[in-house]
Amino acid sequence: MRAPADRDFPWWLVVLGAAGLFTFAHVLSDALYAKVLATLSKGIGITVLVTLVAFAGASVLGLGLALATLSRSLVLRQAARLYIEVMRGVPIIVLLLYVAFALVPMVVAGWNALGLPQASARGFPLLWRAVLALLQAYSAFIAEVFRAGLLSVDPGQIEAAEALGLGPWQRFRLIVLPQALRTILPPLGNDFVAMVKDSSLVSVLGVADITQLGKVTAAGNFRYFETYNMVALIYLTMTITLSLALRRLETRLRARGG
């Protein structure tokens, strides 16, 4: 059964699209806006890179954590739960600063203390420190998404697969994961959109993403209104496009599932 909101004509999208077209037309006809847009566009690649790499790593780690929380081993379950609760309880911006200026130097110092080839924390770029921090933060949230999806699979089907002689990996790959994906993909997509927005936090480390370039540009031209209008417009365009694509995917999955 479709929710009332699903049957509504998307007037909000019409209004947003019209406003977006008007804004972009104004941007292209205004020299200041066009210059700001050209500068901020240089940071789009960094934002996309941070988002994709961090989200891919967080998804892999999150799946591992989810499997650990469902493991028969008490040690694995408790260790995974400890990691998840700690990461979920620390603000992402605090985690960014901790990883960049405490964890990485500490790991490098420990590496050097072992007598291994000498390394320097300066050799680990701030960009990748930011990616590591976002990966760690989001892996905890994604782990809960995977755990809920895996638990949604009917236990009877798993028992039937066991009766047919399928091993643990075969059961997971052929039975559990394909069915769990229908439950997992919508909230996983929401986390991906959230990652796009939270990638702006890397600007606190001086990484030249859209937000950092916006800060530098505004500090140079003192046109804060125009500059941050463009920053907001770029992020809004990216997130709305992703949200619409994910909603379409969710509709297809719902149709296939009956």
pLDDT tens-digit readout, 39-87: 999 999 999 999 999 999 999 999 999 999 998 899 999 999 999 999 9
Q: Cα 107 to the chain's mean position, in Å?
A: 25
Residue 164's φ and ψ, nearest 5 degrees, are -80, -5
Q: For tokens 């200026």, name the residue.
A: 101
Confidence (pLDDT) at 197:
94
Per-residue pLDDT at 257 exceeds 80? no
| Prediction pTM value | 0.87
Q: List, as one string, the DSSP characters of the chain.
A: ---HHHHS--HHHHHHHHHHHHHHHHHHH-HHHHHHHHHHHTTHHHHHHHHHHHHHHHHHHHHHHHHHHTSS-HHHHHHHHHHHHHHHHS-HHHHHHHIIIIIHHHHHHHHHHTTPSP--GGGS-HHHHHHHHHHHHHHHHHHHHHHHHHHTS-HHHHHHHHHTT--HHHIIIIIIHHHHHHHHHHHHHHHHHHHHHHGGGGGGGT--SHHHHHHHHHHHH--HHHHHHHHHHHHHHHHHHHHHHHHHHHHHHHHHT-
Could you tell me if residue 50 is left (phi over 0), alpha (psi between -120 and 50 degrees) or otherwise beta? alpha
How many other β-carbons are positioned within 10 Å of the β-carbon of residue 194?
Answer: 14
Give the C-alpha separation, 143 to 244, whole Å. Answer: 24
Residue 247's pLDDT band (cuts 50, 70, 90): confident
Closest C-alpha among 98, 93, 191, 205 to residue 145: 191
Per-residue pLDDT at 26 exceeds 80? no
Please, what is the average pLDDT of the chain?
Answer: 87
Give the C-alpha separation, 68 to 75, whole Å. Answer: 9
Give per-residue pLDDT as tens, 166-182.
777 788 888 888 888 88
Per-residue pLDDT at 2 exceeds 60? no
Q: Which residues contact 120 (CB under 8 A, 6 or more apart)?
A: 108
